[in-house]
Structure 1
Amino acid sequence: MIWAIQEMKGADVGHERYRNIAMQILYSMGQNSGLSFSSALGERLRKSAHRLFSQQEIDLQQGHREQSVLRCAGHDWVLALEDTTDLNYQDHPSKQGMGQLGGMYDCLGISIHSALLVSPQGEPLGVLGQHLWAPSSSGREKRVRL
């Protein structure tokens, strides 16, 4: 659990109990990486995760970003690999907040743009930034800035 504590050090979670929940989530996901989110956490922790993720004012990635930058300090240079991924929720019409992804079938979903820091040897150092959004139209006018 020490690595989870380290990654959550600088996270802006508002209340200390949220920090403890976040660390438990990280630890459980690490221990059960082959399972679905719900299975890895179990019912009690899954409900706590839902409450935590519903808090708009917290920044769970802040601590990880800070630790990622610290891991970069030992390298003369690092690569920031960026990619946008679309999550297709077309088969889940009851989901709310989805946007038009566009493409051949113009399906419903969300887009995620991530920047991963990697050492020259290919060692992942952490996620520098991540932006999620529901596209407002099938045209890709929106540009993501990290």
Structure 2
Amino acid sequence: MAKTARGGDPEVQAIMEAGTGSVEWLREEFYGVDLADHRLSCRLIKTAERLGKSPTSPINEACGDWASTQAAYRLFDNGQASPEAIREPHVAATVKRMVACGGPVWVVQDTVFFSYGQHPRTRGLGPIGKSNEAHDRGLIMHDALAFTTSGVPLGILSQNLWARREVPDEGCVEKILRLQCTAIEEQESSKWLLALRETVARTPRDVPVITI
């Protein structure tokens, strides 16, 4: 039954067959990306292609040569290449795929922790464990990913990345009292509500969605 459902959706089937490492897929996924500079947009596609082919490799190895590595780092350092600007065409493509499959669509929320404990010189990190120790530092990412009911991934509808504040030196009772006095929007648990709001705002009314 799942095979029939997947085969009945030509657009989703094409995505599965193409694979995320293909140049054609990348160009379609980033079509219309606006980084305020055409050269920067082209660099984004080239860099994504190289990193997509070697997702577990360091940036310099994935890029293949020093010139491409420098170009990739210039892309990352450019304020125009913000995460929001890069994600925008992908989110739009995700919505199109949701419409194409007709629904219902599952939107699964998930939190990922990136550990940078082995990189003590990295700045802008926060605790990801229960302490402020160097080995427990990194970043947190919360996603809302859309899937067909047969399990085919359609894309990301919401994605937020942040560094957690330093862990206060407090007991259990003190922590409970502090959280009770903190607005829900200022608590880390608000990530679930934010992702839900962004999912609702971006989903067409005629596409039924089940959030998980």
Q: Identify whether the pair has TM-score above 0.5, normalized to the shorter chain.
A: yes
Deviations 1:16-43, CA, capped at 9 Å, x for gaps: 0111111112222333346444322223
Is the deviation greater in 129-138 or in 34-43? 34-43
Question: Could you tell me which of 64, 78, 84 is aligned with 1:55?
Answer: 78
Percentage of identical aligned residues: 25
Check whether the contact 2:91–2:155 (CA below 8 A) recurs between aligned residues: yes
Is the deviation greater in 125-134 or in 24-33? 24-33
RMSD: 2.2
| Counterparts in 2 of 1:77 and 1:37: CA distance versus 1, 3 Å | farther
Question: Could you tell me which of 151, 155, 164 is aligned with 1:122?
Answer: 151
Distance 2:86 2:67 in 1: 20
Give the unaligned 5+ runs of structure 2.
1-22, 169-178, 180-186, 196-212
TM-score normalized with structure 2 length: 0.61
Larger radius of gyration: 2
The correspondence of residues 2-81 of structure 1 with structure 2, limited to 5 A, is 2-33=24-55, 35-42=57-64, 43-58=66-81, 59-75=85-101, 76-81=103-108
Check whether the contact 1:102–1:137 (CA below 8 A) recurs between aligned residues: no
| Counterparts in 2 of 1:27 and 1:90: CA distance versus 1, 3 Å | closer
TM-score normalized with structure 1 length: 0.86
Q: 1:84 and 2:138 equivalent?
A: no
* Residues matched between the structures, number: 146
Q: Which has the higher helix share?
A: 2
Quick one: which amino acid aligns to residue 56 of structure 1?
Answer: G
Give the unaligned 5+ runs of structure 1.
none
Q: 1:94 and 2:127 equivalent?
A: no
